[in-house]
Amino acid sequence: MSWLVVAGFLIFFLGLMASIALHEIGHLVPAKFFGVKVTQYMVGFGPTLWSRRGKETEYGVKWIPLGGYIRMIGPLPPRPQDHGKLRNLSTGYWQGLIESARQASLEDVRPGDEDRVLYRKPWWQRLIIFIGGPAMNFVLAFLLFAVVFMGFGIQVAKPIVATVSQCVMTVQEQQQGKQCTSAHPKSPAALAGLHVNDKIVAVGGTRITTWEQATGLIRAHGAGPITLQIERNGRPVTLTPTLIGRDAPSPDDPTKIEKNAGFLGVSSVMVVERQGIGYVFSTMGDITARTAAALAKFPERLGNVWDAAFSGAKRDLDSPASIVGAGRIGGEIAASAAPLDAKIISLIQLVALVNLAIGLFNLVPLLPLDGGQIAGALWEGIKRAYARVRRRPTPGYVDIAKALPLTYAVVAVLLVTSTLLIYADIVNPIRLSG
């Protein structure tokens, strides 16, 4: 294994561990601010690798780097009819587990801690505490994307001709790298006399400032003559190429085919430009929407993971991956032949995307994810607001302990899914190089 692969894996791993640590800080800081007693802050699970005890909190790192947690006292309320005292365990398997969990949640409560238990805090404080972790991931993703877009910049297509195709080929011929022959018709750009470095300033009488505007007007025009106003060596020139109409993939969605899309036969000059904060916000919104859509299709895509793991099927690039798989992608990026700055950008974006995925996944309204606690806090807030409006007695705390049977089922599904992803990432990982 190349040392570059190892270096890329370690860089991603350290970025991931930092992300997990900051996610838990997103819970820890508001919890302490609102007076909840926190007994542990841990990165990882399993046996403790290192720890140090503060005034009342043990800070540490555990051996299994698959997440992290903070331990707050009193996350589950006592049974409502017990007035703060636990009864003997009831009969029934699930009821016994629920009562055991209630008892365990109060084990760290000491005299004087009665007002520092989590369940007694107002619903809006618990909402802030549990939304703090995902919010930290979103902030980290935004900052990392900002480093890429505002610090390094992105490639931007300019409405300046970089190359002129001499003939018209099919998409398959272009992908196969075939050369123009006498059997191929000349391209509209070559016939019209377009030159390299010509700057397109208007298409069909419409002034344009970006390459996307130019190509959009050309594609929408379809087959037939169109007027191009260009600047050549500082002088205005008007050309009238006759566009060819052909079926081509949509630039917005390659899975869709546009009928009779206008074809000119030129490519654009690409330059690297730093973007503003507005671009970061808009792009972050687009990436978040795509990531959320991918998470919604997560169960469906597990089928590809299963086939890849046990049938040797090719792993899709958009296939779900575990920490192991994402780390291998980081190693592949580091070992690629790309320039150093391109590798750095790709690794930063990989960590940003992982943070975005972690943040969105934790908002799923199921325990033990943060979204389950968020849903419980919101439901309590809704119930209490309704009671105020109807002038009814204030309802008690939302008893999330009743959801523990479902929680155990979710944990089991997560463990099985994680095992499958890790196995697939070892035997048939996602490969950027194909």
Count Cβ neighbours within 10 Å for each residue of 221-260 and write b for 16 or more, e otherwise: bbeeebebbbeeeeeebebebebbbbebeeeeeeeeebeb
> Token pair for residue 81?
């009819």
Write down the residue that tokens 């009831």 correspond to: 90
> Which residues touch 116 (CB under 8 Å, ≥6 apart)?
35, 36, 37, 73, 74
Up-side HSE of residue 277: CA atoms within 13 Å toward CB? 1
Q: Check if CATH label 3.30.200.190 holds for domain 155-273.
A: no
Structure token digits, residue 79: 């049974």
Residues 6+ apart with CB under 8 A from 19: 137, 140, 351, 354, 355, 358
The pTM of this model reads 0.84
Structure tokens at 175: 């992908």
Q: Which residue numbers are catalytic?
A: 24
What are the residues whose beta carbons fall under 8 Å from the beta carbon of 14, sequence distance 6 or more? none
- What gap in Å lies between CA 112 and CA 103, rounded to an integer? 18
In 157-297, where does DSSP find H-type helix? 171-175, 188-192, 211-221, 277-296
Helix (H, G, I), strand (E, B) or coil at 356: helix
Give the C-alpha distances (Å, rounded to integers) separating 153 from 156, 157, 269, 272, 274.
9, 13, 16, 6, 4
Domain spans of the chain, in order of start: 3-146+355-427, 155-273
Averaged over successive runs of 10 residues, the pLDDT of the chain (434 residues) comes to 78 92 96 95 93 93 90 83 47 70 78 90 96 97 96 93 88 75 88 94 94 93 94 94 87 80 92 94 94 89 88 83 88 87 92 95 93 94 93 86 86 92 89 70
pLDDT of 250: 80
pLDDT of residue 103: 76
